[in-house]
Chains A and B, each alone.
Chain A
Amino acid sequence: MLRLENINKTFNAGTIDECKIFDDFSLNIEKGEFVSVIGSNGSGKTTMLNIICGSMMIDSGNIVFDGKNITKLSEYKRAKYMGRVFQSPGMGTCPNLTILENMSLADNKNKPFGLARGVNKKRVDYYRSLVEECGIGLENRMNVPVGSLSGGQRQALALVIANMANIDFLVLDEHTAALDPKSSQLVMQLTDKFVKKSNITTRMVTHNLRFAVEYGSRLIMMHEGKCIVDIKGDEKKNCNVDDLLRKFNEISIEKGN
């Protein structure tokens, strides 16, 4: 489904701050996999995600998506096949438009944005049924600007919106990190529900080890631009938070801090 082949990426090349994040990095994500990626700050997990989405271009290597080489494709063109939910709840929605208008825009993804009426009245019930699944009363606030919703509500809506278009790949960028524990649990459960329902290939970056263990079909731990843990299937099912924490500590000890 998604293949990263021999990726090289260096930040600030040629300066004192030169930092090689990826050295000949390769990774293969199969169709239908739900991959959780954990790792310390600077391990390359977010950079990998930016590389996949195209918000960051690579120095050399190939990115192959569904058999197509998308290495040179700009971010907005890749978005045709991908949905993304960001860490900041404000990023996945448009604050000055209402829930209804946001959903209408998302519903029109990959179709022409012409001079037809923005909100299709016939689809309103469908939109309402989609947010109803979140179970947080968004369906009663369809005409409220998204900017006046709480972070958790916005993130739940962003998740719904990212899944509305018929995408093949879902990218979750620490999407529960900015939320309080209750909202973050809710958004994570919603994520799992959506992913299971549409069986969409998903890559989630998280700092929450429990989420990484409990959800998803494959778990990757990154360190200094390499996958130091990569487990799936039964191995993934049997792994627990303590194992991961031990591994985390090992890395820190090796680095001497």
Chain B
Amino acid sequence: METINIIKIILEEGAKYAILAMGVYLTYSILDFPDLSVDGTMPLGAIVSAVLIEQGFHPILSIIAAMIAGGIAGCITGLLHVKLKIRPLLCGILVFTALLSINLIIAKAGTGGQSIVSVFGEETIFTGRIASLIPESVGGVTIRKLIILFIIMIIVKILIDLYLKTKNGMLLQATGANEQFVIMLAKDPGKMKILGLSIGNALAALSGAIIAQANETANTTMGTGMVVFGLSSVIIGLTLFRKVNFMRATTMVILGTMIYKACLQIAVSLGLPSDYNKLLMVILFIIALVLSGKIGRKGGNDNAQA
């Protein structure tokens, strides 16, 4: 029973955060833009969603609003980089820092002065009418939340996969790989970067909104370490499964998130105090980086000879 519970927690946590990781995949891997604003857009989405639910809005509407807020924040990161020529890392730091204030302002405005927004007992996507169509539990294990999380995660994954196969999605991929190629197609790579960052941060906010509703609470500090977490998941996923030809990158990212969450969860159940959590995250990240470098080099020369 204990093991089943741990597996359930890993899958739930993995599904919640995989959406954020897929957003990071879009900006970091596809667009080649190390976007630090995710640390701010994830709690932004959580707080927007929680405040709106608390104010009596429909949970799905609150999710849409959260995504728009995240998208706007990502758009600003992009504008700073494209229009003001600020370096990517700095753009992310600036937006993230600004969001520290904005998140607090929204939370306090919504709750009348608190930095923690609770939606305990309110209707969320996990307790609403649609959710009640799914069985509460099977064999004594509560599964409704897990199923809903997986449905959302898979919908997001499929939408990203479909998008990357469209003309616009292919142009986005080209923007990250070879900006000059996009210019020669008479398209502005700057616009594509802004678009990509908007999508990536909208996904981070979506992830935040879902986390807020699943945990029935949102706070301004929940975003700490999200960039490290997202990048680790992406790197672990893409590195471990790179040789699996038929697997899509989004699937790899989801599996990477699950593996990452499993490592954290196992550490916790082995008795590691939660104070060590962020430290462990960084260690895992460094291990992932080193491994990806090693495996990458072993993969060797990608260029064929003439």
Identify the A interface with B (CB < 8 A). Answer: 74-77, 79-80, 83-84, 86, 90-97, 101, 104-106, 108-110, 112-119, 147-153, 162, 180, 183
Majority SS at the chain A contact face: loop
- Report if A149-B187 is in contact (Cβ < 8 Å); known contacts: A94-B177, A115-B163, A115-B168: no
**A115-B305 in contact (CB<8A):** no
Interface readout for B181-194 with A: 1 if CB under 8 Å, 0 if not? 11111111100000
**Shortest Cβ distance from B191 into A: residue:** A76
B306 close to chain A: CB less than 8 A: yes
CA distance A95 to B186 in the complex (A): 19
A148 to chain B, nearest CB (A): 5
Instruction: Provide a sorted-by-A list of 8 A–B residue pairs whose CB atoms are within 8 angstroms.
Output: A94-B178, A94-B181, A96-B173, A96-B177, A105-B170, A113-B167, A115-B163, A183-B306
Contacts of A106 in B (CB 8 A): 185
B275 close to chain A: CB less than 8 A: no
**B303-A114 in contact (CB<8A):** no
**B166-A115 in contact (CB<8A):** yes
Interface size on B, residues (CB 8 A): 27
**A97-B170 in contact (CB<8A):** yes
Kindly list the 4 A-B residue pairs having the minimum CB-CB distance in the complex, ordered from nearest: A150-B306, A79-B186, A118-B170, A80-B186
Contacts of A80 in B (CB 8 A): 186
Identify the B interface with A (CB < 8 A). Answer: 163, 165-171, 173-174, 177-178, 180-189, 302-306
**A151-B181 in contact (CB<8A):** no
A104 to chain B, nearest CB (A): 7
A51 to chain B, nearest CB (A): 15
**B168-A76 in contact (CB<8A):** no
**B165-A118 in contact (CB<8A):** yes
Contacts of B184 in A (CB 8 A): 79, 83-84, 92, 162
**A147-B186 in contact (CB<8A):** no
**B170-A93 in contact (CB<8A):** no
- Report if A94-B174 is in contact (Cβ < 8 Å); known contacts: A84-B184, A150-B303: yes
**B189-A153 in contact (CB<8A):** no
**Could you say which of B163, B167, B304, B306 contacts A180, with CB atoms under 8 Å apart?**
B306
Contacts of B163 in A (CB 8 A): 115
- Report if A117-B165 is in contact (Cβ < 8 Å); known contacts: A96-B173, A105-B185: yes
- Report if A148-B304 is in contact (Cβ < 8 Å); known contacts: A105-B171, A105-B185: yes
Contacts of A96 in B (CB 8 A): 173, 177
**A90-B178 in contact (CB<8A):** yes
**B174-A114 in contact (CB<8A):** no
**Could you say which of B167, B181, B183, B186 contacts A115, with CB atoms under 8 Å apart?**
B167
**A152-B186 in contact (CB<8A):** no
**Shortest Cβ distance from B170 into A: residue:** A118
**Could you say which of B165, B174, B303 contacts A105, with CB atoms under 8 Å apart?**
B174
B204 to chain A, nearest CB (A): 22
B302 to chain A, nearest CB (A): 6
Contacts of A114 in B (CB 8 A): 166-168
**A91-B167 in contact (CB<8A):** no
**Could you say which of A76, A93, A183 contacts B183, with CB atoms under 8 Å apart?**
A76
CA distance A118 to B168 in the complex (A): 8
- Report if A86-B180 is in contact (Cβ < 8 Å); known contacts: A76-B187, A76-B189, A152-B306: yes
Contacts of A90 in B (CB 8 A): 178
CA distance A75 to B182 in the complex (A): 11
- Report if A95-B306 is in contact (Cβ < 8 Å); known contacts: A117-B166, A118-B167: no
**A76-B170 in contact (CB<8A):** no
**A113-B178 in contact (CB<8A):** no
**Could you say which of A112, A147, A152 contacts B302, with CB atoms under 8 Å apart?**
A147
A78 to chain B, nearest CB (A): 8
**B177-A97 in contact (CB<8A):** yes
**Shortest Cβ distance from B192 into A: residue:** A113
Contacts of A104 in B (CB 8 A): 167, 170
CA distance A97 to B187 in the complex (A): 17
CA distance A45 to B303 in the complex (A): 31
**Shortest Cβ distance from A106 into B: residue:** B185
A165 to chain B, nearest CB (A): 8
**B188-A91 in contact (CB<8A):** no
**A153-B167 in contact (CB<8A):** no
**Shortest Cβ distance from A153 into B: residue:** B306
Contacts of B173 in A (CB 8 A): 94, 96-97
**Shortest Cβ distance from B306 into A: residue:** A150
Contacts of A93 in B (CB 8 A): 178, 181
